Structure formats: structure tokens, C-alpha cells
Amino acid sequence: MTVELPAFNDPTLLERALTHTSYVNEHPEEQAADNERLEFLGDAVLDFIAGAWLFEQFPEYDEGRLTSVRAALVRVSTLAKFARQVGLPERLRLGKGEIDTGGRERANILGDAFEALLGALYLDQGIEAVRDFIVPLLAQATPEIVQAKLDRDAKSHLQEWSQGVLGVTPRYKLVATEGPDHAKVFTVEVRLGDRVAGVGRGSSKQMAEQLAARDALERASELVPRAASNQNEKRDDAPPPLMTMPTA
């Protein structure tokens, strides 16, 4: 599925959304602005639209399932897929060093640029324009996530991978509790060995642990080299596909 980029009333907003910090650093003479502030705004807009859309589409889901599906929709790998579908890689403004090291296909750069694009579109045309643009992408991705249960039981998946690849068992730690009794938000860290591998925030400790495990799985490629070097081993193992995780 390919979705066309919307036409912008203010093209400079689109240009800024596609401008990575590496480009700004290598071209100080342009006095260009990077996309980090737009990314912040787009992240908030995406969370709201995805949450509202899921709420309408899945009336049978409770809060925990809605949260886990939304987390799967807005995770880095999904946003990078969306970015490719709308043709962002070739339009990104990156520094030469970033281009030479494969920046146009780096998931975190693509995901950040996609969120920045949403922030720019919100400023240019408002929330309805963002909704019209993103909902077709959400509608395509959600059935794949739900049918394969890619949003479920990230803790089991992380444990299976970390024990098999790194030889360690994940440990979860509650690091913060915020908000009134009726609306508490829990922050949990998951550690693999002596390293914080992921962080999650949710309305229950169980939900926060699942989101922390999901965060660690998204960063698995970063975790292997460091963990391996600590054990004086060289490993190139990647986590198994999420659809292989236990579904019971």
C-alpha cells in the first residue's frame, strides 16, 4: 500500500519535518531547523488519533488491550514502515556521514521523520488532515498486528530471546509512581544484566512491564553487541520474529 504525501500550504514545514540534525550540523550556513520539535508534536498527535481510532474500531477491547495495540502501532518499526510507504527515505535531508552509514534506511530516523511529518501537517492543516492521512495506514497495519498477536505478551518474548541469545533473565523494577490514586502512572525499567534495556509507562505495573519489554525488543540490535562484548563473545543474533512468541 502506498499513500501519497499531502500537499502543504507552507512547504517550509514539510522541509523542516524532513531535516535531520546531521544535515543542520553539516550546513550551518543555511541556518536550517531540524525536525526534533515537530517530532515531539507529531508523537502527541499520533498517540491521540491512534487511541481514538482504536477506541472506535474495537469496542470489545479493554484498556490494557487498547494500550498494547496502540503501542504496537506507534513503535519504531511500524512508523518506519509507514515512512517507507509514503516515500520518506529518498526525501530526507541528512548529513553526508549519515547517508554514507545507511541513514535513509535506519528505523529510528525514519520513525522520527514520520512523526515530524505528522506534527508539520497538524500545524499546516489541523487535526482532521492528520487523521485523514494516517487512518488508512493504521487501518492496514492493525489487522496484521491483531491477527498475529504482535501486541501480546512481550515479556514472554523478551525472556525467550534474552535467555537464548544473551544467557540472562530480564529483571523488572518499578522506578516511579505518579498521579492521584484514581489515575496513577507507573514507570518500570527492564534490565538485562547490568544494563537498562527498556522503559515502559502505564496505568498498571503489569502494563508498564509489558511496554518496557516491548521497548527492549525494539532495541534488541543495540543490546546484543554490548552484552556480547561483556561476555567476550561475538554474536549477531537477532530476536525471533514477534509472531513466534507464545500466545497462550
Question: Which residues pair with residue 99 across a beta bridge?
Answer: none
Q: Identify whether 43 is a catalytic site residue.
A: yes
* Residue 35 DSSP symbol: S
Closest CA to 122 of 195, 209, 13: 13
Helices (H) and strands (E) in the chain, counts: 11, 3
Residue 103, CA distances (Å) to 159, 211, 220, 228 in order: 30, 26, 18, 24
- Helix 127-147 × helix 107-125 angle, to 10°: 140
CA 223 from centre of chain: 17
Of the listed 34, 39, 43, 189, which one is catalytic? 43
Of the listed 34, 98, 112, 115, which one is catalytic? 115
User: 100, exposed or middle or buried, with CB in 10 Å at 0-12, 13-18, 19+?
Assistant: exposed
Q: How far apart are CA 74 and CA 62, in angstroms?
A: 18
Those residues whose C-beta lies under 8 Å from the C-beta of residue 236, and which sit 6 or more positions away, are 224
Q: Identify whether 151 is a catalytic site residue.
A: no
CA 104 from centre of chain: 17
Q: Which long-range contacts (CB under 8 A, 24 or more apart) does 181-190 make?
A: 188/212, 190/158, 190/215, 190/216
List, by residue number, the catalytic residues. 43, 115
